[in-house]
Amino acid sequence: MLRKKRGFFQGANLVETAAFMERCNIKLDDVDKLNVIHVSGTKGKGSTCAFTESILRRLGYKTGFYSSPHLVQVRERIRINGRPLSESAFAKYFFTVYERLQKEAAVDGAMPAYFKFLTLMAFHVFIEEKVDVAIIEVGIGGEHDCTNIVRKPVVCGVTTLDIDHTSLLGSTIEEIAWQKAGIFKPGSVAIVADQTEQTMRVMTSRAIERKCQLWVAPSLEAYDWPCQEIEIGIRGKHQYCNVTLAMQLSRMWLERMHEAGMKLCIATKKFIRGMRLAKHHFRSNQGRKDVYGTIATIC
pLDDT at residue 5, as a whole number: 42
Cβ neighbours, 10 Å, residue 5: 9
Work out whether strand 78-80 and strand 63-66 pair parallel, antiparallel, or are unpaired: antiparallel
pLDDT at residue 204, as a whole number: 98
Distance CA 209, CA 186 (A): 9
pLDDT at residue 192, as a whole number: 98
Annotate 45-73 with DSSP letters as a single string: HHHHHHHHHHHHHHTT--EEEE-S--SS-
Cβ neighbours, 10 Å, residue 201: 13
Nearest residue to 82 (alpha-carbon basis) of 102, 56, 107: 56
Please state which CATH number belongs to domain 2-16+29-68+132-284.
3.40.1190.10
Contacts of 95 (CB under 8 A, 6+ apart): none
Kindly report each contact of residues 200-206 with a partner whose C-beta sits within 8 Å and lies 24 or more positions away, as own/partner.
201/174, 202/174, 202/177, 202/178, 203/158, 203/177, 206/177, 206/178, 206/181, 206/182
pLDDT at residue 3, as a whole number: 40
Distance CA 53, CA 250 (A): 8
In the chain, the amino acid numbered 115 is F
pLDDT at residue 250, as a whole number: 95
Distance CA 52, CA 271 (A): 10
Alpha-carbon dihedral 163, 169, 171, 173, rounded to 10 degrees:
-50
pLDDT at residue 84, as a whole number: 96
190 contacts 214 by C-beta, under 8 angstroms:
yes
Q: What is the mean pLDDT of each run of 10 residues along the chain (299 residues)?
A: 44 90 95 97 92 93 95 95 97 97 76 96 98 97 96 97 80 93 97 95 97 94 66 69 92 86 63 70 55 42
